[in-house]
Amino acid sequence: MKVDDLVIGGGPGGTPAAMALATAGRSVLLVETRAGRGGTCLFEGCIPSKILRESARRLQDVRRAQEFGLQVPAGEIGVDWGAIMKRKASILRGRADGALQRARQIPTLTVQFGSAALLGPRRARITPRDGAPEEVEFGSAIIATGSVPNLLPVTGVGLPQVLTSEQMLEIDRVPKRLAVIGAGPIGVEMAQIFAAFGSRVTLLEAGPRILAPVDEEIAIALQEHIRRQGIALELGVQVAAIARDGDGVRVKYRDAAGARREAQAELVLEATGRRPNVDGLGPAHTAGRHDPRGVKADTRLATGEPCI
């Protein structure tokens, strides 16, 4: 099989690129590992987290209704977690199906669900979800494989109660106690969402404040807001290990003063950053290189291999 362009990754980077190239008349093969198009943003990131956040915000509004002169039934407002997750799944499925339908309307664009591995500067092996592997020759390729969660090198990260942000968006219940390791954008958002749903949340951050890339004034103001929400925020901590504790776990760490402490939780969310998704991609078979920050590229976004 020969194509003008191979696009690896069907998220918000690869999809527009593939559609633009195909619309311009080039033959394009778009390969996506998931069962639908949309990438991390649609399936495990921005969209599903905002769906949960919206439910959490509506819940907070109802709880404050009396402040605005509105009468609500006495007692605790219930959360139907199954209904929330069903709504999330419906929205994601609709967006993915719509994206695939739009792509299939372009005659020179072929969408393949499976994996791609580079064999050289202009060759790749495509392994479909169903079917035998096939080699493809291409004139140029775009790597748009995004990132995957980065895990701490500590004992206990493999326990079933320790989840990545992607797994956290698929849980079947609201945990009574939740420990979040990492106070970047993902950790802070998840901590606030589940605190609103009723979880007792402990947020652990290695740095001196939350949201390191954000302006300090904004981050400090948000820290105080987080504490007012009832989230236990610990800064300057060093996580040493995660251990079983009955049906839950204990996160062992040293606080900013060096004292040994523990946080008990039903579930642990590890939100300690992300790394380039290049496992199995085969960049070593080309002149392209990558490091923990991403695939190395010049000002034109070309790798060491000009056609990639």
The pLDDT tens digits for 269-304 are 999 999 999 988 988 889 988 888 888 999 999 999
Residue 42 has pLDDT above 80, yes or no: no
The residue with tokens 């990545």 is 164
Same fold, 2-148+275-295 and 151-272: yes
Task: Please give the pLDDT value at position 103.
Answer: 87
Average per-residue pLDDT for the chain: 93
Q: Where are the beta strands (DSSP E) in 147-270?
A: 147-149, 162-163, 177-181, 200-205, 232-235, 238-245, 248-254, 260-265, 267-270
To the nearest whole percent, how much of the chain has pLDDT over 70? Answer: 100
Its pTM surpasses 0.85: yes
In this predicted structure, what is the pLDDT of residue 176?
97
- Confidence at 212, pLDDT banded by 50, 70, 90: very high
Q: How far apart are CA 269 and CA 167, in angstroms?
A: 9
Per residue in 156-205, pLDDT (tens digit) is: 999 999 999 999 999 999 999 999 999 999 999 999 999 999 999 999 99
| 25-36 pLDDT per residue, tens | 999 999 999 877
* 151-272: CATH superfamily: FAD/NAD(P)-binding domain (3.50.50.60)
CA distance 266 to 293: 32
Superfamily of segment(s) 2-148+275-295? FAD/NAD(P)-binding domain (3.50.50.60)
What burial class does residue 8 get, using C-beta atoms within 10 Å of its C-beta: 0-12 exposed, 13-18 middle, 19+ buried? buried
Pairing of strands 267-270, 177-181: parallel
How far apart, in whole angstroms, are the C-alpha atoms of residue 16 and residue 25?
A: 14
On the question of pLDDT at 131 being above 90, the answer is no
pLDDT recorded at residue 43: 78
> Is the pLDDT confidence value at 40 over 80?
no
Packing angle of the helix pair 185-197, 46-63 (nearest 10 deg)? 40
SS (H, E, C) the chain: CEEEEEEECCCCCHHHHHHHHHHCCCCEEEEECCCCCCHHHHHCCHHHHHHHHHHHHHHHHHHCHHHHCCCCCCCCCCCCHHHHHHHHHHHHHHHHHHHHHHHHCCCCEEEEEEEEEEEECCEEEEEECCCCCEEEEEEEEEECCCEEECCCCCECCCCCCEECHHHHCCCCCCCCEEEEECCCHHHHHHHHHHHHHCCEEEEEECCCCCCCCCCHHHHHHHHHHHHHCCCEEEECCEEEEEEEECCEEEEEEECCCCCEEEEEECEEEECCCEEECCCCCCHHHCCCCEECCEECCCCCCCCCCCCC
Residue type, position 242, single letter: I
Asked whether the predicted pLDDT for residue 125 surpasses 90, the reply is yes
Q: Point out which residues pair with 117 in neighbouring strands.
A: 125
Domain ranges of the chain: 2-148+275-295, 151-272
Examine the pLDDT at 72 and tell me if it is beyond 90.
Answer: no
Q: What is the pLDDT of residue 95?
A: 87
